[in-house]
Amino acid sequence: MPDTDIRLLDEQDRAALVNHLFGLDAEERASRFMGRSSSEMAGRYASKLDFAVTSVIGCFEADHLIGAAELHPNGQGGAEFAVAVDPDRRGHGLGSLLTDAALELAAHAGLAEMTLHCLPTNCRLVAILSRRGIRILHDESGPFARIALAA
């Protein structure tokens, strides 16, 4: 994998995030947004995201955003986690890097818990979490995890 830069995104990175989410294939969009969604919907979502509320960690290769992880505060001392990687970059450890960065950011922010839900078909994310010893639970909507963070 070529050199990558992982950093927190801000307003100046909005166009890169819009392009990243707009460019996801149908499978990755479904995994990221928990169901069928269009490229246009993903782009609109990114264009309206409030960086003052939602923390977005980006993975850049050269100046191209190839993966992003989001922490959405839940108002109860925790955050919901989401991640998406460009289709042609899957299988190279970027999802793991972004997950680790999100866990670290959430812990440093003093959050008590990070939660995530994923589609039953999102085997990559389930594997990433399982390798970290995170217990995967299942309910009617599919796999989910509640990750307690060190205080």
Tell me whether residue 150 is in a domain: no
Q: Which residues of 43-66 are buried (b: 16+ CB within 10 A; e: fewer)?
A: bebbeebeeeeebbbbbbbeeebb
CATH of the domain at 111: 3.40.630.30
Distances (CA, A) of 11 to 6, 40, 53, 148: 16, 20, 12, 29
pLDDT score of 151: 57
pLDDT score of 6: 95
Contact present, 142 and 116 (Cβ < 8 Å): no
pLDDT score of 141: 79
Global model pTM greater than 0.95: no
Tell me whether residue 72 is in a domain: yes
Quote the CA–CA distance of 23 and 17 in Å, as a whole number. 10
Tell me whether residue 133 is in a domain: no
Quote the CA–CA distance of 149 and 102 in Å, as a whole number. 11
Could you tell me how many residues make up the chain? 151
Pairing state between β 113-117 and 142-148: antiparallel
Q: Give me the number of domains the chain comprises.
A: 1
pLDDT score of 34: 82
Helix (H) or strand (E) holding 117: strand 113-117
Tell me whether residue 146 is in a domain: no
Q: Containing domain of residue 101, as a range?
A: 4-115
Tell me whether residue 140 is in a domain: no
The per-residue pLDDT string of the chain (151 residues; one tens digit each, 9 = 90 and over) reads: 558 899 999 999 999 999 999 999 888 888 888 888 899 999 899 999 999 999 999 999 988 999 999 999 998 889 999 999 998 888 888 999 999 999 999 999 999 999 988 888 888 888 888 898 888 888 887 888 888 886 5
pLDDT score of 104: 93
Tell me whether residue 13 is in a domain: yes
Tell me whether residue 28 is in a domain: yes
